[in-house]
Chain A
Amino acid sequence: MSGKKKADLKVIILGDYDVGKTSLICRYIDGKFQTQEPTVGAAFFLKQWGPYNVAVWDTAGDERYSGLSHFYCRSAGAAILAFDLNSPKTFESLWARFGSILEAANEDCLKVVVGTKLDLLNQSERDITAEEGKKLARELNEHLDLKKLPHEPYFETSSLNNQNVKEVFEYIFQHCLPLSADQQKRYNTTDRKSVIDLMEDSGEHSRKKKCC
């Protein structure tokens, strides 16, 4: 039923198997952390951002779904490229696999590189430096004027400890669907109360249904 409403922005999350893509989204949408079953194909979440609807598409990291990911990327306004901070392999596959998948996305697609599982990272023994991550982020977004962004599209997050998760999404939403300070203030109060959002949402739905 979510598909009925035309979303104002499509955000897709890509990345290798088991880097924590679904966990990242669940932490943001539901506000809690729980272990996830492997995603089959793709999954879909709807998020209110001010007056807008944002569709967040979660993809399966498994390589056999590569073809599908390509399809689900179509007309995405922003992409989150997730990798496991503790696994250089997952970082490399961002270069290798997912760069090309995003060709199907919008031309001005914002690509945000996000390192996950920060809680497991031993800072003294890290293989992928933040500099490397930022470098990738810059390269992927060569088509955009990065000066307009508050900082490079690179984040290091932990879904378990809820570090930087909200920031990633709001960074994207604010870039793609800027809200004025006033709007932000107005909507931020209800930001965390997802209960209210859902109620409003369903209320709107039922009204819509009755009309047709």
Chain B
Amino acid sequence: MSIKAFELVSAIERVKLMSDKAKTQIECLDVCGKNMYIGTSDCFVVHYSIEEKVQPNGRVTFVTEKQGHKFLVVKKPIAQLRAASALNRIMVLCDNTLTLLNMFDLEPIVTGAKIKGVVCFCINENPIRTNPFSVEICVALKKKIIQLYTVTEDRLIHLRDVSVPEQALTLGVDGVCVCAALTSGYCMIDMDSGHITDLFPIDSEQTHPVIKRISKEEFLLSGPSALGIFATTAGVSQRPPMQWSDGLSAVCFVHPYILAMNDEFITVHSILDQQQKQAIPFQGGVFLGDFDGRIFVASSREIYSLVPIPFEKQIQALLADKRVGEALDLARNANKTGMTRDKFLKMFKRIQQQAGFIEFSRQQFEEASQLFKESAMDVREVICLYPHYLPTNVNFTRSVPPLHEIADINQLSKSDESIKAAYKEFLRTFLEDIRGTNLAHGYKREVDVALLKLYAESTPEKLTELISVDTGCDLEDCVEWLEKHQRLHALGLLYQRHGESDKALGVWARLVDSKTNDPSFPGLEFVVTFLSSLADHELLWKYVDWVLEKDEELGVRVFTDRPANEAQSERLRPETVVDYLHRFPRAVITYLEYLIFQRKLEKEKYHTHLAVLYLEAVLKLMETNNVKKEELDIARSKLRHMLQISNLYRVQLILGKAKEKDMHAECAILYGKLEEHEKALRILVHKLKDYGGAENYCQVNSQGKEPGYRKRLFHILLSVYLDSSYERRDTLVAPAMALLNSSVADFDTIKVLQLLPESWSVGLLSQFLTRAIRMSMHNCRMTRLQRMMARGENLLIKQTFIEMQRDAIIMNDERVCAVCNRAFNDPSFVRYPNGIVTHVHCAKNKYICPVSGKLFSAGRR
């Protein structure tokens, strides 16, 4: 708990007092700027000049010179002495009388102002009045009265007084509050109201009462059992007491230390934690005081100064002892010592960093992390403690002077694997925390490479995210590291990230081939997806073989799943691909389907190729035994679909093969394509007996054609139904009737009637006939309606025309063209509907008026 906060330095070794009598002893002193005043037991006031010199080695020495002395005739000891530099006076209490002396020649002032019967006095450092040329003092009189005075150069002006129940032994004052030690205890006196608040009792025989003003409205008092007790002017305590040693005689305060003196020691306590920090042996001390931050202590014949050790030294000493908390507390308070803010922050950061490393070495990771973050630590300082975790080509040297003595974590963990793991875990969480924040600014590569290495070792599942999202990892030693830890997928991703697609693919190919188990690798599908969006087509061809051999159907996606906006390339032309894919029958089908159905390429070659391939597939299925019916059906319906929707394949080629194998449905479609409808329909009706299909055929094949074509088709179908040469035509009566009555079918009624066999009754046909008549009537009426409407329209247009032509236009010499303003030489001219007349060649557009730009519609107005 000890710390060296102060150093005892001799100021005046043997006071060369006026008389060299052995009895002469120091009683009290005051230091004011470069002046030191000493009061002695034999009634001398001695004036020294004192100057502080800092040696090159940092040691402080004092140069003193005696300036003069004054003997006050009463021959009593000087009890108290205070300089008031604002007034050029010193106040001296001797023989219970307070007098003023000139600060320089030590002569009494002319007016002879004095106060008699004084026990003690003190200066108000927080005066009520703000006149800079006056000083407020508080005086305790023997008569149990406490008084406030204003002191000017030559006068002592009485302000107010308050009676107290007992004589005051010592005083402290702040504003209007006086803290007084009476013979039986301390009290706080409000000088305005005269109200007295008792604090606590003491036995003044045993305890030497001390009152030291600590800060605004707060005093430190010596209590029973050598306790130092804090009390505010409100009469309460806001800090716990502190333990001093017995026989306390004086106290002084320089933030954050309280110094207390007894016969043998000067002890130093911190006001921050009330603990003792240092004990300086000092025998026979008679006086201790702080003067504008400087501390002087006097024995009976010698004067010393207590020179504060610089904060940084104290803090470094604490850090060396690994007392982190105390060091930080002290550092936080160091800015009260007048350091500039910048300097303070710099120093504080450094201390935090050092403290962070101490916590780090003790495995107090939470604290370390907090400190590293708060101090904006250069993250490389941390990473460099982990051997091999900094990128090899980073040229980093640890900060000088060193922040710590740690060699690396191997040293810290003493090769204990669990501790080492804890350190790595710390680094991982720390880097994850700071990644992307200001702290990692400029060190993205270092942070990411270290994370990559850590992940590769312990948490490979995080690698993918690290690498694929804006990574700072370079290839250099990451590759080696990932190889070493068998994180091949991550390695591939890293290559990909750096645009080294070839190497990336190489790694993935290795991964697929070797069946090495990398749980993060999604498999061949991933490679295919990558290839399908790979812009480098040369490279693509290098791996296509390999992929297709692994899995045809997956592999072909390299060609089919290309990005939509990809530029066309020679290497990926459909012909090239189709040629290449010959070896892979399933792949080629998929690719052709892609070309035809998705890309909608209209090339006979592909269509025929696909149709043939479909056909081959069907034929193959037909030849093999034990093929499931569904499978065959699917294959055939695929073929039919293809045959139906495409018009580009070579029909004859397919037809030949289809006929060979008695594939009637396909033949029907093919005949349809050849416009050999009768053949097609005969197959449908006679071979397949698919009457619905036949009707459907008529509809499908007449789509987009003129109505007569549709009628003709249905008529062919009907004639197929009624074909008298067909031996089982009885069976076709019902479908024929259904066709006639169907709402979708369309007929030329007269032709139907001619075709129908004589033997059919009218009753059988009534439905068809009614419908036919209705239709005919409807058509007749519709036509009439249309005719009349057309005639009306015609009349209207005629009317407009007449109206337009009715007005005469007079053309004479004065008439000029509205466009070019020249006379008309020709008999022909142009007149617009709004009356504008121009040359024929000036009328560029007959729908737009050249003058007003008005638009005349071609049709009606």
A126 to chain B, nearest CB (A): 35
A162 at the binding interface (Cβ < 8 Å): no
B2 at the binding interface (Cβ < 8 Å): no
Known A-B contacts A68-B224, A71-B229, A209-B332; the reply to A41 vs B199 at CB < 8 A is: no
Among B239-247, B513-521, B747-755, the stretch that binds chain A is: B239-247
The 8 residue pairs across chains A and B that have the minimum distance between CB atoms: A3-B238, A41-B241, A3-B239, A44-B240, A71-B200, A67-B201, A41-B227, A67-B200
Interface contact A74-B241, CB-CB below 8 Å: no
24 contacts between A and B (CB under 8 A): A2-B239, A2-B240, A3-B238, A41-B223, A41-B225, A41-B229, A41-B243, A42-B241, A44-B239, A64-B224, A64-B225, A67-B185, A67-B224, A68-B223, A68-B229, A68-B241, A74-B237, A75-B234, A75-B236, A199-B370, A205-B332, A206-B374, A209-B332, A212-B335
Cα of A43 to Cα of B272 in the assembled complex, Å:
14
B355 to chain A, nearest CB (A): 13
Cα of A72 to Cα of B235 in the assembled complex, Å:
9
Interface contact A40-B243, CB-CB below 8 Å: yes
A1, A43, A65: most-surrounded residue (chain B CB, <10 A): A1
Cα of A75 to Cα of B234 in the assembled complex, Å:
10
Interface contact B235-A74, CB-CB below 8 Å: yes
Complex interface bits, A181-212 against B, C-beta within 8 A gives 1, otherwise 0: 00000000000000000010000011001101
A45 to chain B, nearest CB (A): 9
Q: Which residue of chain A lies nearest to B228 when distances are taken between CB atoms in the complex?
A: A41
A70 at the binding interface (Cβ < 8 Å): yes
A residues 40-68 near B (Cβ < 8 Å) are 40-44, 64-65, 67-68
A207 to chain B, nearest CB (A): 11
B676 at the binding interface (Cβ < 8 Å): no
Q: Which residue of chain A lies nearest to B240 when distances are taken between CB atoms in the complex?
A: A44
Q: Which residue of chain A lies nearest to B197 when distances are taken between CB atoms in the complex?
A: A74
A residues 132-148 near B (Cβ < 8 Å) are none
Cα of A43 to Cα of B335 in the assembled complex, Å:
28
Residues of B at the A interface (CB closer than 8 Å) are 185, 199-202, 223-225, 227, 229-231, 234-241, 243, 272-273, 329, 332-333, 335, 345, 370, 374
Overall SS of chain A's interface: helix
Taking CB atoms, residues of chain B closer than 8 Å to A199 are 370
Question: Interface size class for chain A?
Answer: 20 to 34
Taking CB atoms, residues of chain B closer than 8 Å to A205 are 332
Cα of A199 to Cα of B366 in the assembled complex, Å:
11
A2, A71, A74, A212: most-surrounded residue (chain B CB, <10 A): A71
Overall SS of chain B's interface: mixed
Q: Which residue of chain B lies nearest to A10 when distances are taken between CB atoms in the complex?
A: B236
Taking CB atoms, residues of chain B closer than 8 Å to A70 are 200
Known A-B contacts A67-B200, A199-B370; the reply to A72 vs B237 at CB < 8 A is: yes
Interface contact A206-B231, CB-CB below 8 Å: no
Interface contact B241-A40, CB-CB below 8 Å: yes
Cα of A1 to Cα of B330 in the assembled complex, Å:
11
Known A-B contacts A42-B240, A68-B200, A72-B237; the reply to A209 vs B335 at CB < 8 A is: yes
Taking CB atoms, residues of chain A closer than 8 Å to B229 are 41, 68, 71
Q: Which residue of chain A lies nearest to B184 when distances are taken between CB atoms in the complex?
A: A67
Interface contact A71-B231, CB-CB below 8 Å: yes
Known A-B contacts A41-B227, A68-B223; the reply to A1 vs B236 at CB < 8 A is: no
**Can you add 13 more A-B contacts, CB < 8 Å, to A41-B229, A64-B224, A67-B200?**
A1-B273, A42-B240, A44-B239, A64-B225, A65-B224, A67-B185, A67-B201, A71-B231, A72-B237, A74-B235, A75-B236, A199-B370, A210-B345
Cα of A1 to Cα of B325 in the assembled complex, Å:
13
Q: Which residue of chain B lies nearest to A205 when distances are taken between CB atoms in the complex?
A: B332
Taking CB atoms, residues of chain A closer than 8 Å to B243 are 40-41
Taking CB atoms, residues of chain B closer than 8 Å to A75 are 234, 236
A190 to chain B, nearest CB (A): 16
Taking CB atoms, residues of chain A closer than 8 Å to B374 are 206
Taking CB atoms, residues of chain B closer than 8 Å to A42 are 237, 240-241
Known A-B contacts A1-B272, A3-B230; the reply to A74 vs B239 at CB < 8 A is: no
**A41 partner, pick from B185, B201, B240, B370, beta carbons under 8 A:** B240
Known A-B contacts A40-B241, A44-B240; the reply to A65 vs B335 at CB < 8 A is: no
**B332 partner, pick from A41, A72, A206, beta carbons under 8 A:** A206
